[in-house]
Amino acid sequence: MHLKKRVLVTGGAGFLGSHLCERLLAQGCDVICLDNYFTGSKQNVAHLLDDPHFELMRHDVTFPLYVEVDEIYNLACPASPIHYQHDPVATTKTSVHGAINMLGLAKRLRAKIMQASTSEVYGDPSVHPQPESYWGNVNPIGFRSCYDEGKRCAETLFFDYRRQHNLRIKVARIFNTYGPRMHPNDGRVVSNFIIQALRGEPLTVYGQGQQTRSFCYVDDLVEAFLRLMDTPDDFTGPVNTGNPGEFTILELAKLVIEYTGSKSVIDYRPLPQDDPKQRRPDITLAKAKLGWEPKVALPEGLKKTIEYFDAFLRQA
């Protein structure tokens, strides 16, 4: 009999995965961290390597895996446009084959499994804010489709495995998240702005900067994952996890300039294709079922993230 809960985190050396591994270890779990290091980094989990309850494995989820665990968090997938558009076929494979392989593992082990899905399943929404009941407005043949449709297909697979094999599943739809260990070159707006500001470069804003985003600090998001995994088996989600506080991109740019004390100016560029005009989660379900809502306000989270990138750039 294993006294410690054994947990597999795919994409565990990534931004979200590394924070999740930390929290699971703090809760007394045995953690297997799986990553192929396409966007993840050993550096993100280097401080955990001496923990006897932490195991790091180099593996790609598009290939089957045989380990013994009680719970699986399936986070493996490049999640920013720069990375997922680099090899779009591999991105779809990671979402679809990765889901099939991890669901197969969960089926064999009768393990509980959580899918890290995304607000991108809503596409460019015509409903605002987005509730889980909204089916989305997605371009199936665009540059972002490898990610959006791959993640939608993964959700389909999760629910079919539940209906067909009575698997214990959980699906979290993640909205914009930020914090320490974000990939420095992933083209995401928070890391872009902070690095540009710290280097004194112009901040790149697309359009007039009036498109809105909601930003959830990573610690809040990890708390939502843990609470979702602990819900009764009859609650599967999907459940929106994100911060409903809505900011324009221009407001974010001005905050970053203020907190970094930078002399950067703003450089306006044309809007890219399929870039959603607004994104804000409706977290009514998360509040009701998880007793969860974000605690970290944007100013506090930004300051912690700026500290991390400031130290990161000094080492680089």
Q: Which domains does the chain have, with CATH numbers?
A: 6-175+217-241 (3.40.50.720), 178-214+245-275+296-310 (3.90.25.10)
Beta-carbon contacts of 129 under 8 Å, excluding residues fewer than 6 positions away, are: 244, 280, 281, 282
46-60, 117-131, 282-296, range with the lowest pLDDT: 117-131
Is the pLDDT at 12 greater than 90, yes or no? yes
Average pLDDT on 36-55 reads 96
> What is the structure's pLDDT at 81?
75
Answer yes or no: 147 catalytic: yes
> What is the structure's pLDDT at 1?
58
Average pLDDT on 147-171 reads 97
Is the pLDDT at 268 greater than 90, yes or no? yes
List pLDDT tens digits, range 160-186. 999 999 999 999 999 999 999 999 888
**What is the 8-class DSSP label of residue 9?**
E
Average pLDDT on 228-253 reads 96
List pLDDT tens digits, range 130-143. 999 999 999 999 99
The DSSP-derived string for 107-152 is: HHHT-EEEEEEEGGGGBS-SSSSBPTT---B--TTSTTHHHHHHHH
Is the pLDDT at 28 greater than 70, yes or no? yes
List pLDDT tens digits, range 61-73. 999 999 999 999 9
Give the mean pLDDT of the chain: 94
Average pLDDT on 144-151 reads 94
Is the pLDDT at 201 greater than 70, yes or no? yes
42-51, 94-103, 120-129, range with the lowest pLDDT: 120-129
**Which one has a higher pLDDT value, 274 or 6?**
6
Given pLDDT bands bounded at 50, 70 and 90, which one contains residue 274? low
Could you tell me if residue 52 is left (phi over 0), alpha (psi between -120 and 50 degrees) or otherwise beta? alpha
Q: Residues 27, 32, 34, CA angle at the centre, nearest 5°?
A: 130
Average pLDDT on 176-199 reads 93
> What is the structure's pLDDT at 134?
96
Options 73, 84, 122, 147, the catalytic residue:
147
Give the percent of the chain with pLDDT over 90: 86
> What is the structure's pLDDT at 78?
84
**Which one has a higher pLDDT value, 211 or 216?**
216
- Position of tokens 């015509």? 126
Which of 3, 24, 16 has its CA nearest to residue 177? 16
> What is the structure's pLDDT at 313?
93
> What is the structure's pLDDT at 272?
76
Q: Where are the alpha helices (DSSP H) in 203-248?
A: 218-229
Count of C-beta atoms within a 10 Å radius of residue 196: 21
> What is the structure's pLDDT at 2?
66
